[in-house]
Structure 1
């Protein structure tokens, strides 16, 4: 009998995170089904992907493991609960000043982490809580970044020899630079100096999205997609704020300019006024030696795997998992009640 796996997702960007893992599962003869929370667009599913639409269907499917690129998962569905995370640590802090990336919500049995810093911090928390295990596997979402051919990349224009700038921004009003640099982007795109690709977090406010869509011209294209990897591969330099996508971009050894970013370090070029953006992008496109050395050091720190085999390591970690020495997870009654309400499931498991 083939092993069965469930992909439980709550955001549209999760499709691209899990599809490399699906490819590896199928290569090993396993079976995958998807469960989408109500806000997820099922149109992003491919014709060969199976969707389960109820908790009853999940229970009947009875997955061996449930993979989640998010923060929570229902305790009332079967399977080993595995988080593969939805992005890198972008240094975002909650109102208490704590890093939200390392908040332990008591939902998972296994954390598949990536990078020396991330793994170390989750291991320290695992010693404290003793309710989950940690394995440094690399991030499945990045496998195509290192393995996929660019020949069919729809965002690469071989006829346009200008440098390509990818502008990405997060949705949170506290961190997003999109509202503050609109006029600068408008001016730079109209100059025709560079080719611009613009892509925002799917939760970005509709008013901001519409403003940038209205900027589209021969030099700027606004893109809505569930898969940012082709975009990352198509650009020469990135302009960003705090979005964790900038770290994915850096892994290609490509420079990033941040506008009032909360991440600090010599691997980034940070600016604090719109007037500085053009000069910073020009510097980044030149790829100065010292900047590239700092980027290389940072890559080794956050995600040293560049072999495109992180999905295989994740599945190996699941196969080798045991509950030995783990304590029971907290009941999380309020969170689980909210999930039952969201999914319309009130039967006792």
Structure 2
């Protein structure tokens, strides 16, 4: 039995890693999780075994490390695999955002054509990592299996349309401060059932205010429940959060408030007062909007089989078997980044051999 390590620095990484854990366990492999930073104190359910610290991770000598963060501890043995913590929502310039490479990973498992092409070009230039398009493990639960939580949320709606609200934590992009009053007014009418959620890094005051809206017409859902909430909802109201892209994979309409890069598949608006009208448009999408939703979904994540985790594992094994070709030595800059990671994790012991 081989041992594998899952690595996360934020709570929102847990739903990304859990499907990979499930797939590894189904194949009889040993699965461990090392959660640091914003994810510290969280857990993945047994039989995943939790790693306490860097020393334990080094001693494990995993066959591969799967990361849903922007970085990965280079001193732990095994293939270093990037799973991504979200879609490219164009919050930053490409060199600083989704397409930034840091000299730490051996394999990038991309979500769909929109990211595969750019990363393959970067891999061709760099030579020290490979790229395989696998789909995104977080979305595996969207397709093909029962979801009791999604069923419960739909039942709570009592036949009413279900609207989900999600917001990023980035202050100048967040809709949470701007839409609170209008969303509260919509909830009070009882015409729709609302599922409310915020990025874990949002300010505590906004969590308090949105949690206070829960009642007979609304429920607040936690980060780990996002996929179920997306399955239950008919329409999403959001901003520039990557939840927009996740939701569109289902070909369901999205209403966005001041999105940084609005596109044809979004119903974007900038005046909170027009939210009710935007919802009406979303509930009755025209042919052009329906086509735009499908085209965008196919470009970022064409997979609807719920098998991305299995493809990630297969790609990792192909890398380890040398089937993807040789890798060049990582750049000198990665050594400095490795020292920074050691300092951040408080580990100055030897690397695994």
* TM-score normalized by the length of structure 2: 0.93
- Corresponding residue of 1:317: 315
> Contact (CA 8 Å) 2:9, 2:40: kept in 1 or not?
no
Equivalent position of 2:344 in the other structure: 342
- Which stretch shows the higher mean deviation, 104-113 or 316-325? 316-325
Partners of 2:160 and 2:272 lie apart in 1 by: 22
Aligned residue for 2:184? 186
Cα root mean square deviation, aligned = 1.7
Any conservation in 1 of the 2:105–2:129 contact (CA below 8 Å)?
Answer: yes
Q: Distance in 1 between matches of 2:79 and 2:112?
A: 23
Query: Greater helix percent: which structure?
Result: 2
Rate the CA distance shift 1:272–1:16 in 2: closer, same or farther, 3 A.
same
51-60 or 315-324: which moved more?
A: 315-324
Cα pair 1:168 1:241 within 8 Å, conserved: yes
Q: How many angstroms does 1:193 deviate by? A: 1.7
> 1:276 matched to which residue of 2?
274
Aligned residues: 346
Which deviates further from its counterpart, 286-295 or 334-343?
334-343
Cα distance, 1:158 vs. partner?
5.5
Match in the other structure for 1:60: 59
Q: For residue 13 of structure 1, what is the aligned residue in structure 2?
A: 12
Partner deviation per Cα, 1:76-119 (whole Å, 9 max, x = no partner): 1111000011111111115xx85501111111000000211100
Are the aligned partners of 1:92 and 1:99 in contact in 2 as well (CA < 8 Å)?
A: no
Is the alpha carbon distance of 1:198 and 1:38 closer, same or farther for their aligned partners in structure 2, counting shifts above 3 Å?
Answer: same
Q: Contact 1:257/1:284 (CA < 8 Å) preserved in 2?
A: yes
- Aligned residue number for residue 329 of structure 2: 328
Are the aligned partners of 2:221 and 2:229 in contact in 1 as well (CA < 8 Å)?
Answer: no
Give me the whole-angstrom Cα distance separating, in 2, the residues matched to 1:311 and 1:59.
24
> Does the 8 Å contact 2:21/2:48 carry over to 1?
no
Give the whole-Å Cα distance in 2 for the aligned partners of 1:132 and 1:346. 26
| 2:221 equivalent in structure 1 | 223
How far is the alpha carbon of 1:19 from its aligned partner?
Answer: 1.2
SS in 1 for 2:223: coil
Equivalent residue number for residue 99 of structure 2: 102
Secondary structure of the structure 1 residue equivalent to 2:347: coil
TM-score, normalisation: structure 1: 0.94
Gaps of 5+ in 2: none
Contact 2:32–2:51, Cα closer than 8 Å, also in 1: yes
**More displaced stretch, 254-263 vs 40-49:** 40-49
Q: CA deviation at 1:155?
A: 2.2
Residue 113 of structure 1, aligned match among 104, 110, 120: 110
Question: 1:334 Cα deviation (Å)?
Answer: 4.1
Q: After the TM superposition, which residues 1-349 of structure 1 pair with which residues of structure 2 at under 5 Å, given as runs?
A: 2-93=1-92, 98=95, 100-153=97-150, 154-157=152-155, 160-321=158-319, 322=322, 324-331=325-332, 332-349=334-351
1:275-325 CA-to-partner distances (Å, cap 9, x unmatched) read 121111111111322211111111111111111111111111111113744
**Per-residue deviation at 1:159?**
6.0
Q: Give unmatched runs, 5+ long, in structure 1.
A: none
